[in-house]
Amino acid sequence: MNKAAILIVDDAPSNLDVLRTVLSQEGYQTFVASSGERALSLARRVRPDLILLDVVMPGMDGLQTCRQLKGSPGTEHIPVIFMSARNEADDVVAGFDNGAVDYIGKPLRMAEVCARVRARLQFHTHTETQLEQVKRLRKIVDTMAEGLMIVKADGLIDYANPACDTYLGYGAGELAGHSIGDLLQASVAAEYLDYFSHDAAAQGAGHGTREVAVQLRDGAVRDMDLTITPMQMGGAAMFIGLLHDISHRKHYESTLERAALVDPLTRIANRRHFDSFIDMEWQRAIRSSRPLSLIVLDVDHFKLYNDELGHAAGDAALREVAAVLAAHAPRATDLAARYGGEEFVLLFGETDSPAARTMAESIRGAIEALQLPNPMSPCGHWLTASIGVVTIVPGQTDLLTEFFEAADRAMYAAKDAGRNRIVAVHAGSKTWEAVKLMVKL
């Protein structure tokens, strides 16, 4: 372990000799100076752990020397103990006012000097250790990837680390003084402020981690995880808030969720999405007593198309058909989906039978107008489709399965009638009742 270094400053050679001898015997490394100017030079070069400084010296006295030591970044943290025969209260106060940590009266009692030196070095070592710990902790906080802020019980931000500033688009130190309510939605901010006000820090009750929408300085909103932990700081209730940016994760999750609902070939909705959507719209139609129309469409002689032109051409044809369907389902209450193979479905909310029939005829004509050659088709030169249409204002006794099956049967009736046509039915018609009867067989 390195010896503590002590700089002894006194214009009396006898004092220097005695102090140096005694302190060296105590195991300290000693340096001596007989003037304030020499003391400043040595202190800057040696950086001692402690300075014993005589107050009364010719030229630069001890008070002046101490002021210069405390005014220099390299020496300001070195503790100074004054030694002086001036023991009046004003003298002692002046010593402390100029930066001394202790004041020893002359004539010196060596046992007392050694005890005060020992105590001061122990305190200084402990303080230095604490300062080093604080520096290490500060470095960790300043370089951590998560945003960290310290929030007071009134919701005002007392401190934010650089990551927090970067996350939220603020400059260094700009977040301090802002309310946490400036960052969160009003309802969420009110919940946190209520939590702060219930002495949560004293009770040690954390608020856990929750996903919140945080408003950035430019007004944009970003998804983040916020963890609030209470603590006591100087007797006051404070709260540590950790912010973790999850916008990339949310984007990834959203991408996965969308991928799970989209047909990878045609890029329109898949069967899973459609089944969920039709169930929701069916219930909405029951509540509103508004008509719901369903189209089931099958590409005519698609196997012959694939056999003749190849599966790559078949895939391209399905994508073009899907684009036609998507263009005919622009509203939030509409959905076009690939239901399987060459079969597609479209649902139109709040759409009556004449409108649905008109839409189906437009779709049929648009597919034929693509003029995709189908040389093996017995019903024309181009790729075509057979379409079944069903419209209903559903009631509590109606079944969604019968509704879907009726549209499917209508599509097959279009095929049986020669393909490249539509067959439309609506609830209450003779055709509807006949279809329902077939469904039940």
Residues forming the active site: 342
DSSP 19-85: HHHHHHHTT-EEEEESSHHHHHHHHHHH--SEEEEES--SSS-HHHHHHHHHTSTTTTTS-EEEEES
**Residue 364 · residue 387 · CB < 8 Å:** yes
**CA within 13 Å, CB half, 422:** 21
Alpha helices, H only, 265-372 = 271-288, 302-309, 311-327, 353-369
- Per-residue tokens: 405: 């099956």
Structure tokens at 40: 């400043």
Closest to 319 (Cα-Cα) out of 223, 383, 260: 383
Pairing state between β 157-160 and 147-152: antiparallel
Kindly provide the residue ranges of all beta strands, DSSP E only, lying in 183-235, ordered along the sequence.
208-215, 221-233
- C-beta separation of 360 from 344 below 8 A: no
Q: How many CA atoms lie within 13 A of 436 on its CB side?
A: 15
**Cα-Cα end-to-end distance for the chain:** 97
User: How far is the C-alpha of 349 from the C-alpha of 293, rounded, in Å?
Assistant: 7
Q: Please state whether beta strands 5-9 and 29-33 pair in parallel, antiparallel, or not at all (unpaired).
A: parallel
Count Cα atoms within 13 angstroms, Cβ side, for 44. Answer: 13
d(CA 30, CA 18): 12
Q: Identify the three-state secondary structure at position 408.
A: helix
Residue 424 phi/psi, 5-degree rounding, is -120, 135
d(CA 171, CA 279): 50
Taking each helix axis from N to C end, the angle separating 13-25 and 110-143, rounded to the nearest 10 degrees, works out to 70
Classify the C-alpha dihedral 241-247-248-253 as positive or negative: positive
